[in-house]
């Protein structure tokens, strides 16, 4: 038994895997990140109303857990199939920061709605890293992703301070940043110096026409 994950993509070296045109890959990755940020920022009041509705019916915690499972499953698929990460060692390295991420998610904030910040900004951090890794193939991509996703978290709170039903919360701003940092650390323990894998190149290669 090799210890490799059977559903992972073939271990094709990244320099041999076919790449889509970088301009197209760049546009797609930044569209995914900026589009997700735009959805978050333009639905702040709606999200608040939905959270009130779910909390009134005792469904908020279940919603947070379901969202965490969906985002986590999508990331696991992208890592194993899209990035071609194989073997147990990378996942063992990532287990500690993942445990810290989950611990922080369930202890830093008591409200299920506030715990959703970890799912939201953890996902945005990974999308930011993917977009940056298209052009930055060194470990510098990790702190850049923290800065970019952290700026989105600050803009989120700044806009909430100008909402009629929301307010600026320094603690939420800190929670957003913690989620971003921990998500990037999880990615860094999986990819290490091979930052190009954060692009999930095997998924991109599948879209290249023959």
In contact, 208 and 24? CB cutoff 8 Å: no
6 belongs to a structural domain: no
66 belongs to a structural domain: yes
Please count the structural domains in the chain. 1
139 belongs to a structural domain: yes
Cβ burial, residue 136 (10 Å; 0-12/13-18/19+): middle
64 belongs to a structural domain: yes
**Residues in the chain, pLDDT under 50:** 1-12, 15-16, 208-210
50 belongs to a structural domain: yes
13 belongs to a structural domain: no
In contact, 160 and 176? CB cutoff 8 Å: no
With CA atoms as reference, report the closest residue to 126 among 97, 106, 161, 87: 97
Q: Which domain holds residue 71?
A: 22-205
Give the model confidence (pLDDT) of 9-29 as tens digits: 444 455 445 555 678 889 999
pLDDT of 206 reads 52
4 belongs to a structural domain: no
């Amino acid at each position: 038994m090799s210890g490799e994950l059977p559903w992972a993509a073939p271990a094709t070296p990244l320099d041999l895997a076919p790449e889509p045109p970088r301009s197209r890959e760049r546009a797609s990755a930044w569209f995914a990140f900026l589009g997700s940020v735009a959805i978050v920022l333009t639905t702040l009041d709606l999200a608040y109303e939905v959270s009130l509705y779910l909390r009134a019916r005792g469904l908020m915690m279940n919603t947070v857990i379901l969202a965490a499972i969906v985002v986590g499953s999508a990331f696991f698929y992208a890592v194993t199939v899209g990035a071609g990460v194989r073997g147990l060692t990378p996942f063992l390295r990532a287990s500690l920061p993942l445990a810290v991420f989950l611990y922080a998610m369930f202890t830093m904030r008591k409200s299920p709605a506030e715990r959703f910040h970890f799912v939201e900004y953890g996902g945005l951090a990974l999308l930011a890293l993917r977009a940056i890794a298209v052009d930055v193939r060194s470990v510098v991509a990790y702190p850049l992703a923290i800065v970019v996703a952290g700026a989105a978290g600050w803009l989120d709170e700044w806009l909430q301070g100008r909402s009629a039903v929301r307010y600026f919360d320094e603690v939420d701003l800190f929670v957003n940043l913690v989620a971003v940092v921990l998500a990037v650390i999880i990615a860094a323990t999986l990819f290490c110096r091979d930052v190009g894998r954060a692009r999930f190149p095997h998924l991109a290669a599948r879209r290249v026409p023959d």
